[in-house]
Amino acid sequence: MILFFLPVLKGNAQFGNSFLSGEAIGKGAWEFSGLYSSLSIGSDGESEGIFNNYGLLLGAGISEKTEIRIRYDRFSSKEGGDFGFNTIYLGPKFSTESGRFALYFPVGVNFGDEFDSWMMEPSFIFSFPLGKNLQINATPSFLIPLEEETGPEDGLLKLNLGLGITAPGNWIFRPEASLQYSVQEIGDGHFLALGIGVSKRLGTQ
């Protein structure tokens, strides 16, 4: 079953969770996040772990409702050995006044020992408050490869669903699940990423 993910990797996949909310951090503010996800693939009622994903995410507020996000991920094989790859993403995020909706347009590159490939992932972020310090975040997105030999049919449909739990000191804990389908393989299998992000905001009121 491990062969299922290989064409998607060549088609420029970023398998990580989003760990984002619709609200803006504000002009002049910063948000630093440490991320971890466990990625598995499932097909015909079976599942297999394939990657551990460790990442860092930095957000910088350039206006009250707009920010720039840069992210680095390392995907390491759960089978051990040296197989793995890296991803760097960069893009703007635009939030509404209410903070319940945002658009995010990152462009990124996968790179490893024997390949590199470019992609973009337009994302729609919906946030719903469940209390003063708790919200639920849903982020549907479509990862689109940007290589000459690939097209949208080589992309990845993703739905991230998670919580934002605010703690004293501007800390935010973000448990999240991500269900992902290769466009070419819909109905034949899926990817599942379960993870946690821990964010610290600076320069906010």
Task: Kindly report the three-state secondary structure assignment for every residue of 112-164.
Answer: CCCCEEEEECCEEEEEEEEECCEEEEEEEEEEEECCCCCCHHHCEEEEEEEEE
Residues 109-142 have pLDDT tens digits of 988 776 678 889 999 999 999 988 999 999 999 9
| pLDDT given for residue 184 in this prediction | 72
Cα(97)–Cα(24) distance, integer angstroms: 9
Cβ atoms within 10 Å of 45's Cβ, excluding its own: 5
Structure confidence at residue 3 (pLDDT): 47
**Per-residue model confidence (pLDDT) at position 12:** 54
pTM reported for the whole predicted model: 0.88
Q: Give the C-alpha separation, 59 to 70, whole Å.
A: 7
**pLDDT at residue 15, as a whole number:** 78
Please tell me the predicted confidence (pLDDT) of residue 117: 83
Low-confidence residues in the chain, pLDDT < 70: 1-13, 44, 81, 114-115, 150-152, 185-188, 205
> Look-up: residue for tokens 């990124």?
108
Q: What pLDDT, on the 0 to 100 scale, is given for residue 71?
A: 96
Q: What's the token pair of residue 34? A: 């440490």
**Largest separation between any pair of C-alpha atoms in the chain:** 50
